[in-house]
Chains A and B, each alone.
Chain A
Amino acid sequence: AQSVTQLGSHVSVSEGALVLLRCNYSSSVPPYLFWYVQYPNQGLQLLLKYTTGATLVKGINGFEAEFKKSETSFHLTKPSAHMSDAAEYFCAVSEGNTPLVFGKGTRLSVIA
């Protein structure tokens, strides 16, 4: 069965600092991996996804994530945090023909 672990339910960074949100997954087959963001009072928005091909995936708003099979990780990064990045971030895994399985989410706070 698939599973996702997001390390750290809450991450706080200073404006302009590097953002690193960790995600480790478990899957019996090559996974499809996703990062979603939820802004207050809104539904989920897709940031980026990995299906096949290049392991470094670039998404919206300057975010990117790298699929590392050897580490079963798909960490999300952004070089410089903006205040507007404050939100809840969810990592998710699918085996293609299965429903997405989500991590518990990481709340990102950005300090001025």
Chain B
Amino acid sequence: GAVVSQHPSRVICKSGTSVKIECRSLDFQATTMFWYRQFPKQSLMLMATSNEGSKATYEQGVEKDKFLINHASLTLSTLTVTSAHPEDSSFYICSARDLITGGEKLFFGSGTQLSVL
């Protein structure tokens, strides 16, 4: 079945550095990818919707200059947390929509735990 690969699964970085998270659809084409943030013991918060070849659409309150999203191909979207601070520590989860099945089926990455020291 369709698989979404998300890397890294865990990253620890120093405050002020940038971290890139990759989300790949391994066996399908994903025109749309969603990036979510998850705080411990809480539900997901949609950060942005990423469409291949165009600029991402950010949710209200999400800083687009801080959370850079690139969706350059039908199988890869990246989220870069720039100048990370401890408050950016969180889980980040991507999901991808399978174009072939009519665009509505959604598959999830396994998440990235970001810890900023």
Contacts and interface: CB of A to CB of B under 8 A. Distances in A.
Interface residues of B, number: 20
Interface stretch (B14-22, B38-46, B67-75, B76-84): B38-46
Contact of A40 (B1, B104, B110): B104
B52 to A, nearest CB: 15
A97 B38 CA distance: 10
A80 to B, nearest CB: 24
A99 interface: yes
Tell me whether chain A's interface is mostly helix, strand or loop, or mixed: strand
Tell me whether chain B's interface is mostly helix, strand or loop, or mixed: strand
B114 to A, nearest CB: 11
B40 A44 contact: no
A46 interface: yes
A46 B43 contact: yes
A77 interface: no
A43 B46 contact: yes
Interface of A: 32, 34, 36, 38, 40, 43-44, 46, 49, 51, 88, 90, 94, 96-97, 99-100, 102, 104-105, 107
Interface of B: 1, 34, 36, 38, 40-41, 43-44, 46, 49, 91, 93, 95, 104-106, 108, 110-111, 113
Given A43-B36, A97-B41, 13 more contacts: A32-B41, A36-B44, A88-B104, A94-B38, A94-B41, A96-B40, A96-B41, A99-B110, A99-B113, A100-B43, A100-B111, A102-B108, A107-B104
